[in-house]
Amino acid sequence: MSRWVDAHCHVDLFPQPERLLAETERLGITTLAVTNLPSHFHLGHPHFRRYRRVRPAVGLHPLLATEHTPAERAAFLRALPMTSYVGEVGLDGSGHGRAFLELQRASFEFVLEALGRRTHLMSIHSRGAEAEVLDRLSAHGVQRAVFHWYTGPLRLVDAILSAGHAFSVNPAMMRSASGRRIIAQIPADRLLTESDGPHIRLEGQAQDPRAIPALVAELAPTLGLTPEELAEQIFHTLKALLSPTKGEEAPFRKGHL
């Protein structure tokens, strides 16, 4: 049985999140359940932790920077010992977030300082601020993060890869020329799959972790692999991204994969 990975899904935003997770558990899909605020993480954690394949992540979404209150920041710090994953975090320099970019910067800096030398795996939002996000990661010595739904310049992809980071790609990227060009530059050992559900809708249907096997089957020929080989490679890539290197502090370990 293939071991599938959904590296970025807003499970808590679905109408019946536990029913969805029960189904993805049955299908063998390891799901990184990102959150937009730490309070959302704490609400969901008691329910999600019962599933062997769900990985709750604590987030401070850049587009909600005006809600990153002292209470939410304190909740973020309390969550760090409870998980190996952080997301969704980052910066948004597009028209959606430009008006409060300074608030975003302060929040992202808080996240990076709070992590220190821990190896929590971050799922990064970088739309319209890709170079700045890469710069801040490098300034804080972050060697392995995942750029979720990257839409930035092609010329920056190699710099992100050289810095040790990976990318998570989704069905929407496969359906755009720019997305396919980006995917073509990502080697198999730096690629993860994601649904970004429920934000991505195709043919009126919200994507969720159950879309991952079809996405892997679509991606595999472009990488010269069978779907089974690519699924296994993606699982091992996730495992490698979580492995601490010398001098790094290991994250919370219980059931981290």
pLDDT single digits (tens) 19-65 = 999 999 999 999 999 999 999 999 999 988 889 999 999 999 999 99
The backbone torsions φ and ψ at residue 215, rounded to the nearest 5 degrees and listed phi first, read -65, -45
Checking DSSP bridges between strand 201-202 and strand 205-206, what pairing results, if any? antiparallel
Task: In whole angstroms, give the CA distance from residue 149 to residue 127.
Answer: 8
Q: 158-174 pLDDT, tens per residue?
A: 999 999 999 999 999 99
Q: Are 11 and 54 in contact (CB under 8 A)?
A: yes
Residue type, 44: G
- The Cβ of residue 175 has, within 10 Å, a number of other Cβ atoms equal to 12
The partner residues of 31 in beta bridges, in order of sequence, read 6, 54
Residue 246 pLDDT more than 70?
A: no
CA–CA distance, 120 with 84 (Å, rounded to integer): 5
As a whole number of angstroms, the distance between CA 206 and CA 229 comes to 27
Return the pLDDT at 1.
63
Task: Please state the pTM of the whole predicted model.
Answer: 0.94
The 10s digit of each residue's pLDDT in 189-230 is 999 999 999 999 988 889 999 999 999 999 999 999 999 999
- With tokens 């991606």, the residue in question is 219
In CATH terms, the fold of domain 4-241 is TIM Barrel (3.20.20)
Mean confidence (pLDDT) of the chain: 93
Q: What is d(CA 34, CA 192) in angstroms, rounded to the nearest whole number? A: 15
Model confidence at 255, pLDDT cuts 50, 70, 90, reads very low
Beta strands in the chain (DSSP E): 4-9, 29-33, 54-56, 85-90, 121-125, 146-148, 166-169, 191-193, 201-202, 205-206
Q: Rounded distance, CA 162 to CA 171, Å?
A: 25
Q: Say how many residues make up the chain.
A: 257
